[in-house]
Amino acid sequence: MFVMPTREEAVRQPLGDLALEFCRGCGFIFNSAFDASLLDYSASYEETQGYSPTFGAFARSLVRRLVDRYDLHGKHILEIGCGKGEFLALLCELGDNQGTGFDPAFVPERMPAQVAGRMSVVRDFYSDKHAQVRADFVCCRHTLEHIAAPGEFLLMLRRAIGEREDVTVFFEVPDVSRILREGAFWDVYYEHCSYFSPGLLARLFRGAAFDIVELCRDYGDQYVVLTARPAAGPTRPVLPLEEDCGGASESVQRFAEGSLKRIGWWRQRLRELAARGARTVLWGSGSKAVAFLSTLRVSDEVACVVDINPHRQGRFLPGTGHRIVAPEFLRQCRPDCVVVMNPIYRREIEGELTRLGIRAELLTADAAESQ
């Protein structure tokens, strides 16, 4: 997520259009108005979630599972879209592996010290020109949804792997099925130009000559996780989660109706809180917060946005210009209401509020559903 050093820069950020389209033939949902030139994945892109104990525990558990299941010991790991390198560092550390990462937003000064001699990062997008990098295991987490032509990207990756059938690839993306089901308008934002259900993701990989080893949901059913190996040609669906797209049209229609209902509920709720003089803050300054505030066209109804990532604190959200603050700031802000952008962090945030001595109403972004 992009964060700006000043409020003036934040509110002057160029805005892109969202025009979601749905392919009835394959179930692909994409932003047809996407313009990649509006995005600059430089060091100002701050995607790290590792400061959260909840997310950190999930990432470490996932790495242990991958290391054990695919015998990742003394191997070479390639990560596409490695961010600041935390996940690749864990794979290198827990399996005594070597690692190569690709990400234009990588910051060399944040290379984890414990793997500095076993891990290198290329500050570039992965493409055909890097096909000479050989690996035993390829991982790509929360990057494919940023790519406008994911099918072509997978074909490129398959060409790079070539005849090495023992290579394992691991991908993780947000599950659009949940977004559609919940009417989660805060999970639709410009950086994500492509949206995947489990079935669509599997079909893309099978069409690019991969055989699916595992397909499941994870992290509170928010993510689709896929593991695959190269095949001689396109393969046929065999896993239960590889649903057809017969019900996708109904899900898209429900999202259109459900998201409008949620938007209306939140606008009214925030106005009511402001009218009675209550102070409201958001917890979580990622792209969900930007989408939430921008869609609702919220200004003073929200005082600030809290984040535990120190690299975001003191900066400002693009578009609305809301200030990002550390949790300790709440001791002086004394909020009456805290809106949690991702419900999976609710218990963690409740603990932080207790530690800070803050008694406030806690609402999650999906609160309208329970009203």
Q: What is the pLDDT at residue 2?
A: 78
Candidates 260, 259, 320; CA nearest to 293 is: 320
Domains within the chain, CATH numbers bracketed: 7-249 (3.40.50.150), 276-370 (3.40.50.720)
The answer to whether residue 370 scores a pLDDT higher than 90 is: no
- In this structure, are residues 88 and 82 in contact, taking their beta carbons and an 8 Å threshold? yes
Q: What is the pLDDT at residue 26?
A: 83
Q: What is the pLDDT at residue 33?
A: 95
Q: How many CB atoms lie within 10 A of CB 249?
A: 12
pLDDT digits (tens, 9 = 90+) for 294-329: 999 989 999 999 999 999 999 999 999 999 999 999
- Which two structure tokens, joined as six digits, stand for 324? 């990002």
Write down the residue that tokens 């990207």 correspond to. 153
pLDDT digits (tens, 9 = 90+) for 172-215: 999 999 999 999 999 999 999 999 999 999 999 999 999 999 99
pTM, whole model, 2 decimals? 0.94
Q: How many CB atoms lie within 10 A of CB 244?
A: 11
Q: What is the pLDDT at residue 247?
A: 67
The answer to whether residue 44 scores a pLDDT higher than 70 is: no
The answer to whether residue 288 scores a pLDDT higher than 70 is: yes
